[in-house]
Amino acid sequence: MNGTKKLIMTLLPVVVLGLGTTAQAQETPPPSDAPPPPPPTTHRSSSSGDGAGLGFGATYTLSGVSPLLGIGGFPALNVVYDMGLFHVEGMLGFNSDPPGAPGGDRTNTWLFGAGGWYHLHKGASSDLSAGGVVAINYQSQGPVSDTLTAIEPGIYARAFVTPNFAVFFRGGLAFVLGNDNGASYFLGGQPLLGGGFTYFLR
């Protein structure tokens, strides 16, 4: 009898320790060796946060893509500053054509412009804006010169291909003042394939 009691007293602590170890093992989840999945990559539009900041690219004026107005289209340097809620831009372009006849004068054309765009709608990697551009086209050939002023209200749709690179399409009305035929206007648009991009330094 004394031997049985001694055996029970010896086994009891072993059983209690074993049950405690089993319960603790069940409460602690096994460590995971797999790393957590990376967050999805998104191209945030200029409307996210504080805007895309300073950018450079190329663009066309709406009136410049129409040969009917006698201006002739050529791309202009586009300098953009994006502040999130809206963005402003400046344009500068130069073109020099050779003389049409021997001994003639070259035709030089300068383009200066400025515009502003308010962001109406913001997407994950795009935005839609309303605003306009005012551009001055100065053309000279020897002693003869001509100055045309274009006022171009419209809409501006932009897509960010990467966080730094955006392409855009601009369409609206173009009013041209100052040519020999008086004031004229037409409906026009900037084709995306003809230019229209900005690279932001962010």
On average, the pLDDT of the chain sits at: 76
Query: Domain locations in the chain?
Result: 53-200
Residue with more model confidence, 74 or 198 = 198
The average pLDDT across 74-87 equals: 91
Considering the segment(s) 53-200 as one domain, its CATH architecture is: Beta Barrel (2.40)
Q: Over the stretch 132-178, which tens digit does the pLDDT of each residue have?
A: 999 998 888 888 888 888 888 999 999 999 999 999 988 888 888 87
Q: What pLDDT, on the 0 to 100 scale, is given for residue 177?
A: 82
Q: Which of 143, 134, 141, 148 is nearest to 71 (CA)?
A: 148
* Partner residues linked to 34 by β-bridges: none
pTM above 0.85, yes or no: no
User: Percentage helix, strand, coil, to 5, in the chain?
Assistant: 15, 50, 35
